[in-house]
Structure 1
Amino acid sequence: MQQGNQTTISEFILLGLSSEMEKESLLFVLFLGMHLVTVAGNGLIILAIARDTGLHTPMYLFLANLSFADISSSSTSIPKMLMNIQTKSQSISYSSCITQMYFSIVFTVIDNFLLGVMAYDRFVAICHPLNYTTIMHPMLCILLTVIPWVLSNIVALTHTLLLIQLVFCDSNTIPHFFCDLAPLLKLSCSDATVNELVLLVVGLLVIIFPFAVILFSYIYIIRAVLRLLSLERKWKAFSTCTSHLTVLLLFYGTIVGVYFFPLSTHPEDTDKIGAVLFTVVTPMVNPFIYSLRNKDMNSALRKLISKKRGSSL
C-alpha cells in the first residue's frame, strides 16, 4: 500500500529481551513459570472471593477486578513472546500489534484506577466505619467498578485512534518484547507531535488523579488511626491497609525507580525494565501480598484449596 513516497508495512519485528539463543531458552522457562504463577494466583483470588460469601464486600469486589486485570495484563504480552521464542519467529502483524498495544494500555491504566478506588474504600471503612454500608452502597460500588474500566478503554482508544493515523515506513523493528506505545511512536516516519503531547497529558492525568485520591485518603486514614487510644485498635485499623499499601509501594515505586531514576542510559532498556515490572512482576506478586497479609483472604483460599482436594479425592 502506498502513501505518497512512503511504503507502509504489514508487520513488525519484536526483538524481545535478548538476541542470544542461550538466554532466550532461559527467558522462555522463566517467563512461562511467572505467567503460570500469575494466572493461578490471581485465578484463586477470584474463585475464593466468588465462593466465600463472607468476602462479598466492596473491598473484595475491587480486589477481584484487580486480579482479573492482572491476569489479562500478563496474558496480553507474555504468550506472544513465548510463542515467538518457541517458533524462532519475531514477527507480529500490524493489526495484532495494534490490538496488543490497546489492551496493554487498558490493563495498565485500570490497575492505577483500581488502586485509587481501593484507597477510597479503606478511607471510608476506617474514617467512617458506622456509615460504611450507607456510603459504599451497591450502586456506588458498581459505579466505582465500571467507571475505571470505561475510562481505561477511552484512554486506550484515544491512543489507538491517533496511532493508526501515523505512517510506518521501511523501519519495522521494535526493540521490545511486545507492542508498546512509546516504541511504536519512535518508529513512525510521520509527525507524531500530537501523539506525544496526548501521551504526556493523558499519562499525567491517569497517574495524578488516582494518586491524589490515594494520598488524601491515607492522610485522613493516618489521622484517624492516630486518634485511637488503644494500641490494639490502632494496629487492627492499620492492618486492614497493609496489603493495599504494599501493592501501592510496589506499583508507584516501579514508576519512580524506572522513569525517574533509570538504571540504564539507554531508553529502550528502561522501557523494557518498566514493562517487565508492570506486566509480569507486579501481577505475579499481588496475589501473594493479598493472601499472606490478609487473614480473611488466607482463610478463604485455604477453604477453596481444601474443597478442591476433597473433590479430587
Structure 2
Amino acid sequence: MIAALLLALWAAAVTGPLPRLLAGAAWTRRAPAVGVLAWQALGVSAVAAAALAVRQLLDPSPHHHDRLLHLCGLSAPTATVSRLALAAAVGVALVPAGLFAARLAAAARGRRRHRSVLDLAARRGVLPGVLVLEHPAPAVYCLPGRGRRVVVSRGALDALTPEQLAAALAHEQGHLSGRHHLAVCAAEASARAFGALPLGRLVREETRLLLEMAADDRALRTHPARALAGAMGVVAGARLPSPALGAGHHAAARVSRLAAHRSRPPRVLRALGAAAAGALAIAPPVLACAPHLLLPL
C-alpha cells in the first residue's frame, strides 16, 4: 500500500505542478531538444505511475522473492489476484499507447492525401529536392515520414531572398532529420490522455514550440540568424495542412529568441538535462520497488 501511495503522489506531481514549472522555462528555450525530451518523459512517467499504482492497489502484498524482478512485482504472476492486477496495469498503459498509435495512423493518412495532391499540382526541378506549389501566399513546409516532401509556394519564392530561402529550407530539413512528427504525435496522445490536467493542457503547444526552436537550431548551424528571422517574418501567416511542419509556426516567440542572442548551454549541461529527463521516466518503477526493498522480509 505504501508503494501505491508513493506512485499516486508521483502521478499527481508529473501531471500537475511539474508541467506548470516546465512550461515556459528559460532553459528549455536554450536547449529545446532537451525540453522536448523532458515533456515526453513527463508523459511516460505519468502513464507508468498510474499503471503501477493500479497494480499495487489491486495486489498490495509484498513480492518477496529471490530475484529483483520478483521483488518489484515485475515477473510473471502466479496467483489469480496478481494476474488480474497485472492485466489492469497493462490496460491502463495501453490507453495512451493506443492514442499514440491512432494519432500516428491518422497523421500518416493525412500526409498520404496531401502528397497525392502535391504530386499532381506541384512542380519539380525548380529547386533541387523541393516541390514548388503555384500559390501566391508565401509558405515553406515539409511532410515528414515515408515519402517525405519539402514544399515551397511560388509566393515564398518571390518574397524570400536566396539567403532567407536557404535558411527556411534548412529549418525544414531539421524537422525531417529529427523525426519531429513522432514527438508531435506523442504530445497529442498525452494531451488527449490527460485532458484538463496541466500536463494535458500544456504538452501539445509546448512541444510544438520547442520542436520549431530545435529545427531553428539545426538551421543556425549553417545560416545566419537574421536570414532565418527574415524568412519567419515572411511565411508566418501561412495556413498549412494539418500534417505539415512549417517554418512560420510560432514565429513571434522564435524571432524573440533569435533576437536575444543566447548561446546554447554547454554540452555537459545538455547531457545532464537529458539524464534528468530519463530519471523522470524511470522514477515510477523505482518508487514501486523502494518499499519492498526497504521493508524487512
Q: Which is helix-richer, 1 or 2? A: 1
What's the TM-score, normalizing by structure 2? 0.33
What's the TM-score, normalizing by structure 1? 0.32
